[in-house]
Amino acid sequence: MRSADPTGVKRHFRIALILTACMVPLQCATLERLTLEDMIAKSSMIVRGKVAGSWGAFSGSVIYTHYTIQVSERLKGAGGSSVEIVVPGGTANNFRQSFSGAPTLASGSEYVFFLWTSRAGLTQVIGLTQGLFEVASDGTGDPTATRTASHELMLDPRTGRPVKDQTLVMHLSELRTEVASALGKTAGQ
């Protein structure tokens, strides 16, 4: 009768463990920390609007979720009453992809979007979740705009060192003032 080789079993177990660890996707994105002034300057468009609908589609090998935004206010940039934006990740043709740091938008919810358009013509939220402020009424007539802190690795662009992101909360009137002030500085240069 032959007995099992304990070292062979241990070796196979270690190999299986290593392979399993390598197959688990890493949930991490590295972002450059953007200040509000950076986002204002780098955005091609800043709009306030509600998510009217969404669908997923492939662009090459990447799935993007396309969102139609009904624009209620333009703080920067020109355009019509709606804009289509894309966020990496989503579901298309029974395939699902997810990208760390990509925002998820709720249909019917209102946001302020800091947007940029890629060379491929895709309009996206700048800095992933950094350029997305959720708008909520606080009963004062001046809604609150909240940008939740990102949990992704974030680097300071000047030092290259990791920094901790912070939630940013302000009234919509304050956000409008910040945008107008930054745009006024840019126009005056």
The pLDDT of residue 25 is 43
Give the strand order in the sheet containing 162-163.
30-32, 153-155, 162-163
Nearest CA among 131, 105, 112 for reference residue 71: 112
In the chain the domains, ranked by start, together with CATH numbers, are 26-188 (2.40.50.120)
Phi–psi pair at 11, nearest 5 degrees: -65, -45
Phi–psi pair at 71, nearest 5 degrees: -80, 125
The answer to whether the CB of 39 falls within 8 A of the CB of 114 is yes
Using 50, 70 and 90 to split pLDDT, how confident is the model at 46? very high
Using 50, 70 and 90 to split pLDDT, how confident is the model at 30? confident
pTM for this structure?
Answer: 0.81
